[in-house]
Amino acid sequence: MDAILVINAGSSSLKFQVFGIADAKLTRQVRGQIGGIGTRPRLQAKRADGAVLVDQSYAAEAVGDLPAAIAAAREWLLTLDGFELRAIGHRVVHGGPDYAQPVLIDTTVLDRLASYQDLAPLHQPNNLAPIRLAMEINPDVPQVACFDTAFHRGHPEHTDCYALPRAFYDQGVRRYGFHGLSYEYVAERLNEIAPEAARGKVVVAHLGSGASMCALRGGRSVESTMGFTALDGLPMGTRPGQLDPGVVLYLISEKGMSANAVSDLLYHEAGLKGLSGISNDMRELLASDEPRASFAIAHFVHRCSLNAGMLAAALGGIDAFVFTAGVGENSAPIRARIVERLTWLGAELDPAANEAGAALISTATSRVALHVVPTDEELMIARHTLALIRSRAA
Ligand code: ADP
């Protein structure tokens, strides 16, 4: 069977999925990852029906870094029978100011993507590592880069900029926005399940470990809560969300923290984890009796509702509000608490539908349709990859 391999490479995990192609349609075949790179490496993969294909642990030094994880994953993937690799699709966090679409990768494109490394130093090098390796090993297999930023590139300049001297914008200091593959998938899915709403004004809340919201008009992104980096906007598992830049200046100039220490604080020690002092994991916080856990949740809900209001203003009202990602898809109590703060927009929750995990959780009289749409960034990458290799073949 012809197949597309989708790769999402991070610093502590390498995720991969295999999609089969039959009659130009994609079906997920395998889902896997190597987690705990450098600490407790573990390769796990399942077939689409849930059957376990591999579950193997390694010594920390055996899979000590991302290149070693790529090698281990490759070794295992080569044992998979029955797939003819036609292309590899990669999640690449930053498409810089240039890429508003996924792109077939060649050495020129790769050099340009590498030049965005300083825009996303924690993510971009990891995203590019498997591309380089596959180029060396399998130069004939086409590779496609799909960006988290691309979906937002159509924002008008006056919404895309910071109020800084113009030269900074020209140097790339812009509000890029992220989670674009998730929003693009949700927009397509909404068009299937609620086409009328999809044509209108929609706010999508991607609430996972990373969290952001996006305002869609007619299925296109017009605003997002994230900006130059994936630190801005909503509080997240370990990131603070919106923060007065004066805090950063204070920490550096008055508290003597190094830029690296501040970066570590903002990426790894803040958000729900920092506020609660308990966990970055919403499930654990919801299960905890500790007042600090409910305090962190209250802050999260507060910031979500403020940002929803901001995006409603960007759209001039909303027709639909969509929950997606780990928290959005699975947590009825968090959804209920956010919707409670959207009553002024005309949102009315159907508590039974919400508790039951229904796809539509608003009442029949709600002025805002409330949807829960499971996201699928990997399928979005596979779709883009297939479309690009087909257009190349045409
Ligand atoms: P990422 O892909 O960014 O790692 P996910 O979209 O998987 O993140 O979301 C992870 C978050 O979703 C975690 O905070 C986790 O606790 C939360 N989550 C998953 N299931 C539930 C649930 N049933 N109730 C509350 N939170 C949940």
Q: Is the pLDDT of residue 24 over 90?
A: no
- Which of 330, 380, 381 for a ligand 1 pocket mutation test, highest count of atoms within 8 Å of Cβ? 330
Q: Are 47 and 53 in contact (CB under 8 A)?
A: yes
Question: What tokens does 227 get?
Answer: 């900006």
pTM check: above 0.85: yes
- Going from the N-terminus, what domains does the chain have, and what CATH number goes with each? 2-147 (3.30.420.40), 195-372 (3.30.420.40)
> What pLDDT does 316 receive?
97
Q: Is the pLDDT of residue 63 over 90?
A: yes
Q: Are 352 and 234 in contact (CB under 8 A)?
A: no
pLDDT in tens, 146-170: 999 999 999 999 999 999 999 999 9
Residue 144, number of CB atoms within 10 A of its CB: 26
Q: Which residues are catalytic?
A: 148
Annotated binding site: 8, 15, 91, 206-210, 281-283, 326-330, 377
Q: Are 198 and 190 in contact (CB under 8 A)?
A: yes
Annotated binding site for substrate: 91
- Label each residue of 67-90 as H, E or C: HHHHHHHHHHHCCCCCCEEEEEEE
248-259 exposure pattern, b = at least 16 Cβ within 10 A, e = fewer? beebeeeeebee
Question: What tokens does 307 get?
Answer: 């940002």
18: part of which helix (H) or strand (E)? strand 14-22
pLDDT in tens, 82-129: 999 999 999 999 999 989 999 999 999 999 999 999 888 888 999 999
> What pLDDT does 324 receive?
98
